[in-house]
Amino acid sequence: ESGGRGEKMADQIPLYPVPRSTQRRAAYYTNAPAAQRHNRYQVEDESSHLDEMPLMMSEEGFENDESDYHTLPRARISQRKRGIEWFVCGGWKFLCTSCCDWLINICRRKKELKARTVWLGCPEKCEEQYPRNAIKNQKYNIFTFIPGVLYEQFKFFLNLYFLVVSCSQFVPALKIGYLYTYWAPLGFVLAVTVVREAVDEFRRYQRDKEMNSQLYSKLTIRGKVQVKSSDIQVGDLIIVEKNQRIPSDMVFLRTSEKTGSCFIRTDQLDGETDWKLKVAVSCTQRLPALGDLFSISAYVYAQKPQMDIHSFEGTFTREDSDPAVHESLSIENTLWASTVVASGTVIGVVIYTGKETRSVMNTSNPKNKVGLLDLELNQLTKALFLALVALSVVMVTLQGFVGPWYRNLFRFLLLFSYIIPISLRVNLDMGKAAYGWMIMRDDNIPGTVVRTSTIPEELGRLVYLLTDKTGTLTQNEMIFKRLHLGTVSYGTDTMDEIQNHIISSYTQAHSQSSGNSTSVTPSRKVQSSAPKVRKTVSSRIHEAVKAIALCHNVTPVYESRAGVTGETEYAEVDQDFSDENRTYQASSPDEVALVQWTESVGLTLVNRDLTSMQLKTPGGQILTYYILQIFPFTSESKRMGIIVRDESTSEITFYMKGADVAMSSIVQYNDWLEEECGNMAREGLRTLVVAKKSLTEEQYQDFENRYNQAKLSIHDRALKVAAVVESLEREMELLCLTGVEDQLQADVRPTLEMLRNAGIKIWMLTGDKLETATCIAKSSHLVSRAQDIHVFRPVTSRGEAHLELNAFRRKHDCALVISGDSLEVCLKYYEYEFMELACQCPAVVCCRCAPTQKAQIVRLLQERTGKLTCAVGDGGNDVSMIQEADCGVGVEGKEGKQASLAADFSVTQFKHLGRLLMVHGRNSYKRSAALSQFVIHRSLCISTMQAVFSSVFYFASVSLYQGFLIIGYSTIYTMFPVFSLVLDKDVKSEVAMLYPELYKDLLKGRPLSYKTFLIWVLISIYQGSIIMYGALLLFESEFVHIVAISFTSLILTELLMVALTIQTWHWLMIVAELLSLSCYIASLVFLHEFIDVYFIATLSFLWKVTVITLVSCLPLYVLKYLRRRFSPPSYSKLTS
């Protein structure tokens, strides 16, 4: 009953997307009476037109229908209201930052990037001054290093406060005790930080220097000259050897390879491990010798530098030939910086250097991540500071404002300054280093690296986990699973039938004379009784396999006989394409899987260069196909095509393969494609549709002329080329549908299950299509069996988004699947509503996501929920998401190391994430919380004692403990036991893995909250007062003894309190306790100026100290015992 009522309620709640002012806005623009009716759908239709209309300055502009001018005085009034309180509340911050930004902008004006004309080998002909080709990864230079590091330190309230306190000691009137009591701890903290930063900086500097001083050969009129990488200029001709890094962005002019092309490795640039094929400009490749590059007069026109590494437009022009030669340049003629030559030697002309290279433009400065725990502690120190001020004011008031009271106030502030512990930062930083060390030493998760040591506690309270799919949840290893021809479907168990068909069709073709056109439909003569139109199954299989074997961008690479050098050579001379040492190189693992499959059924790709491809039939015959055109795969077109000419029959065929969405409109009408694609996607297969079209010689010639013309145009080149290619993509004959499976990584299912039970909401952000993403989400148990999946229908306008969101609002506890473009629409109009609904989902899958969109989703989650996010990915496309999240985890995958280098933590497998969070994250957070509160307690105790002491001695602003005692107290006497809390753990790691619900407890932030903090404050005040009053009651005539008794009791109390806090003892903890005690006893010999050694040896001293210590600690032990007895925490139930 209540469920029904709830749904009715949900129907009645209107999602009013259009504010009242927009209704007026609609009327204002259309002047139609219909807009005045308060019909909400009506208004929605109006508002969809608004998107094309110019937006006014502000909402206020729409309040009155006459004109904009009336809004101006009003705006001024609202400005005036923001007077003094605005300035106090944060206006000054705003003013300061805007002034600084203005100054920075003046200092380094961004130079406008322009298109350029580059003459071959003539750097002096350049009109512009281009940036130096030097790599610079350093954060600071010599002048900014010290200010920069200090700023990073004193940004925190804690450190700034200490700086002020320490500086005040130079004023004689305020001097309390020795200078070193204040400067020594501060100096130590700063020294550690500066040294750490300096070492990092020096390493960066050395890496940069090494890169910048690499030598390259530069071609000049006089011959080859060695030149440093940093001295290369735009227009230089540079020779790059095999396995050498390309120093700057170049246009590829010549290569030593006969084919006129070479391979490069791009894993440093885009994170992909496969090789890319690059083509030399044919005009310069044809020149007889190297030196001829100087005898011709030629230039390259290049577009202005931009970020996109997958596109380039330019032209190559040779002036001195008759007629002038024009060639269009595209991405395949470029060699980007930071890639490595994989075959042959290349010569290129430099077009972009330094900051304008693609690789530098694509690296964003990663933000310095500050943990949430650090921010919370910053808040607590501010609270402590307020307490400190209040205490000092109380003291001065009790004094009765006598004499120079403001000076006394300041002296009290300094006296009690120990309330805020400076050792907090040191202890925490050392703690973090220790956690990092433990994570790297853990044998259960080998190969895990901590790259950002400042945020291990964040791993203990994550709420959202955003993961990539390909390569992170799946292995990125493709296996061919299914071939579907419309009437028949072949799976893994029936592949041998395909093999038999292929063998029979080729042996028939071979047995007949190869002169007539038998190779097209080899089975026609044998089955002459069958009708001509309906092809036999055998011939259809043959056509399909041949299409798959030809339509791709795969190159077979042979390891040379002499395995000593390990050189990759093309064994063209001996035509010995032996199977043992052949490997395939391609830009996507799907393509390699397809070509390996055709090899397994008998049709093998044995050789490929720029102009031709050779296939080997089962009978060992070599078939040659000339490549006339190739249209590479792009993420926009989602398809690739190739036009080949069969050598034996001279027939021209256009083959095409691509995603079903792109191909369904191109192929001839059929009734099975869509349905079968859906079926395969539900099995978790990645589908590709293969089609072909036969062309006559005239058709092809006409196409080629239009295509070359489009390629030379400078404006809208991409659009024109696409239009010409589309003229061919009509009514193609559908050959087959292929299904390739991407296998899941090891133990993905249990890991996701564990994370879900730990209260972490998992979002999968992938570039894959909706069906595949949904199916992986089910098979990896990202969405549990019982849950429904709500697939968000594609929406394009505000009205559609509104209706679809309402439909989604009625569903309860179901996973959401949404595509990137629908997401974009929803975020544009209903950001708040959409995020609110999505955050309640147990799992969300976003498919067809662009890399920038992944980062945007992370940012939205952080802003909307304020909860901690963690991003997991493995490729270059996940870097932006990893850097944006509070915690970035990189998986070292097939796609290279780029993501794991940019991440805060890098793991070798996805399954290690479970242990990293459940065990290490949880422990780090609990330990840091305990450690920081203990350090605060330690300093509060001594401050309480100081306060009691001052109040007893007529509010004198004199310090209780002088010089070394204060420093020794927070370092040598209590440092080891307190720091040994870092080794504490409440449950064994096996238990933590078994019960992920324990992790859920931490999400509320209970280990460190104002409540726990207050409890510790009360404990400190109690203990401090007891020790001081006890010492005052029991002390003998001299002041010296009060110091001895109270200080000894204080240290014993601290050591006992550590013992009380610890949950699981570790042998190092006991060592630390004993070490501290012995340190104290040994140091008494030197401290005779503070403590009377003869008095300490007496019995009365011992019993007094024992009594005081027991009174300060026993009640707490009793309380702890009672609490464990009557309201035990959840983990203690598991440990018993």
Residues known to be catalytic:
468
Sort strands 761-765 and 464-467 into parallel, antiparallel or unpaired: parallel
Secondary structure of residue 765 in the 3-state scheme:
strand
C-alpha span between 317 and 283 (Å, rounded): 9
The answer to whether 569 and 562 are in contact (CB under 8 A) is no
C-alpha span between 797 and 1127 (Å, rounded):
55
* Residue 249 near residue 224, CB atoms below 8 Å: no
> Rounded CA gap, 438 and 433, in Å?
9
Q: Is 467 helix (H, G, I), strand (E, B) or coil?
A: strand
Q: What is the largest CA-CA distance in the chain?
A: 127
Handedness of CA 961, 966, 968, 971 (dihedral sign): positive
Distance between CA atoms of residues 1023 and 85, nearest Å: 42
Give me 874's structure tokens.
């493995």
Cα–Cα dist 1047/322, whole Å = 98
Q: What single string gives the DSSP state of each residue in 508-576?
A: HHHHS-SSSSTTTSTTTTTTTTS-SSS--HHHHHHHHHHHHHHSS--EEEEE-S-TTT--EE---SS--
Which element (helix H / strand E) includes 628? strand 622-631
Phi-psi region of 895 (alpha: psi -120 to 50; beta: other; left: phi over 0): alpha
In the Cβ-directed half-sphere of 855, how many Cα atoms lie within 13 Å? 13
Q: Taking a C-beta distance cutoff of 8 angstroms, is the pair 538, 501 a contact?
A: yes
Dist. CA 1049–CA 1105, nearest whole Å: 6
**922-952 and 405-415 are packed helices; what angle lies between their axes, rounded to 10 degrees?**
140
CB distance 726 to 656 below 8 Å: no
Report the 10 Å Cβ neighbour count for 972: 15
Whole-angstrom Cα distance, residue 169 to residue 161?
13
Q: Sign of torsion, CA 1051 1057 1058 1059?
A: positive
At residue 216, what are phi and psi to the nearest 5 degrees?
A: -130, 155
Contacts of 1041 (CB under 8 A, 6+ apart): 1035, 1092, 1095, 1101
Neighbouring C-beta atoms of residue 1126, cutoff 10 Å:
7
Position of tokens 């259809």? 540
Relative to beta strand 325-329, strand 249-255 is unpaired
Integer CA distances (angstroms), 325 to 126, 318, 884, 1097, in order: 22, 5, 48, 103
Question: Three-class SS of residue 896?
Answer: strand
Angle at which helices 1067-1083 and 1039-1061 cross, to 10°? 170
State how far the Cα of 757 lies from the Cα of 465, in Å rounded to an integer.
Answer: 13
DSSP 126: -
Which two structure tokens, joined as six digits, stand for 1097?
């040896």
Q: Which residue, 388, 368, 371, is CA-closest to 162? A: 388
